[in-house]
Structure 1
Amino acid sequence: MAKAAEVGNSIGRREILARLNQQLPPIGKPFLRSASYLKEALLLALTDSHQGSTHLSSPLDVTLKLGAYKSFSDLSHVLQFANFTATQALLDEIASTTSSCIHIIDFNLGVGGQWASFLQELAHRRGTGNAPLPMLKLTAFVSSASHHPLELHLTRENLTQFAVDLGIPFEFTDINLDVFDPAELIAPSPNEHFMNCFQPCMFLLDSLDAAGTNVDVASKIERFLIQPRVEDAVLGRQKAEKAMAWRAVFTSAGFAPVPLSNLAEAQADYLLKRVQVRGFHVEKCGMGLALYWQSGELVSVSAWRC
């Protein structure tokens, strides 16, 4: 099916999808649910509806997504690992600098709660001794499929007000990934591309199932958080957008990887010790850290300095 999509064989794609519709309902084991979400994303690519996601079409959907995000944060260690490790890397860096401005580029904004915690810690660390607080600029790359305008508005307002309360100059900017086209790009092969979408989804769903997640909660998490991510990845390919070789882009822009501190690694290990479900583990990947479920990588964190 991936090859048919790559060469523009719409008839072949429709025939395959028609058969898959009968065999891949969004229920059952993680393997089947992941395949179903990929199938749905490909179906969107064959219709005019691929211009935007239908998962966040109303204020009520935004409310449901925020609830699903909280449940996901409580149940899965993906968000906690990524947020805590990334925030610790930033805190380690600002401890050795007196810069008057900190600019964060975020490719995984979520609902922005991790930056409220960072703002609070920044005010505590840099606000002692009457030292002036630095300005914090936050640039978030988002897509129309993953973030409703109301959601972005709420995130901007909440973070801005929190920064005002702490006395930190703050600036929030969101950039639409749908039209973002950096110079350094690569294009993986269509089989490679779809497997890169399928395997992480399967590993993540398997880890949620192992945690004994409530069926209704799991359904909301998959509808509002996981399925839109799958659609973003698949539809990006169908719109002829290429996967960004972000390490090459960072390097060409003058950034260099920075090793994470022992504290960041110890924090990640402590996080996993609180887990009741066995199967998660942390591994070093170059100068960064990666969280694994069984043998599958769920998320990785690395720090870069310009």
Structure 2
Amino acid sequence: MSLSSPAAPAADPIVSVRGVSKTYAGGFQSLKRVDLDIRRGEIFALLGPNGAGKTTLISIICGIANASEGTVLADGHDTVRDYRKAREVIGLVPQELHTDAFESVWATVSFSRGLFGKSPDPAHVEKVLRDLSLWDKKDNKILTLSGGMKRRVLIAKALSHDPKILFLDEPSAGVDVELRHDMWRMVRELRDRGTTIILTTHYIEEAEDMADRIGVINRGELIVVEDKDVLMRKLGKKQLTLTLQHPLESVPQALSRWPLELSGAGHTLTYTFDTQTEETGIAELLRTLHAQGIDFKDLQSSESSLEDIFVSLVHNKKQEARA
């Protein structure tokens, strides 16, 4: 099942992945011919269950791992043939807290900038540290910092060389609420300045709040890539729940054109409809209820979250694999 948009990809994608597969010794295939374009200046969220291939795909794009087949371009540079140029435009915040324990915050962030061939720029390093609430810790050795502060240092290192593309691999895992808010504020600011953000996350509500587009990967296959709003319209469901004044024994024939479910000992009518369906049908439903003498004392509406859609996509893909 693929729900990728049939529309042509945006011109000049900043990341272009073509036919990328990864097979490990023993024959396990972590990625299966992934094709993906990431647009310049967008926030792209890559969702998937544990072991789906998210980190493997990011590692290949960043040049940390080699693909078994396929090509990746980062800002026009082949990540294998022109590794240094490609890597210069990429910042990566990994899941693991790997830092130089005995270095100061200032020293390790400044050193990371130098690794990419960038000349010293104390003003830029200071801004990054201030944005991440690390300025008062700039002289502290990293081993003295809390886990949340170490996560901030990783982000600062990734931003030290002012990359055009920033990868955040499960950035919210195990961090405090304050850091999470600081981080997402900074991500929005970076996007507004033209940085392309690619994030993987288990916090689906964050992807729903932050992302411009969503990709879902499962068992090494990219099963959907879509604008977030379009995905919500295509796959989301809405519900109208009516609490009736008097119980019904069954749904009257006059209401048969609507897919209504009667529950709560006849006190609750639920109308479930696709978000692409014209909602003018609700007004007609309410008029028909009134004409039938069916009164209600409460009305509530709800709609699918991105999490509902994600679970549905992965569930459907698993069913297809069993078939």
Higher relative contact order (CA 8 A, sep 6+): 1
TM-score normalised according to structure 1 size: 0.22
- Name the larger-Rg structure: 2
- Higher share in helix: 1
TM-score normalised according to structure 2 size: 0.21
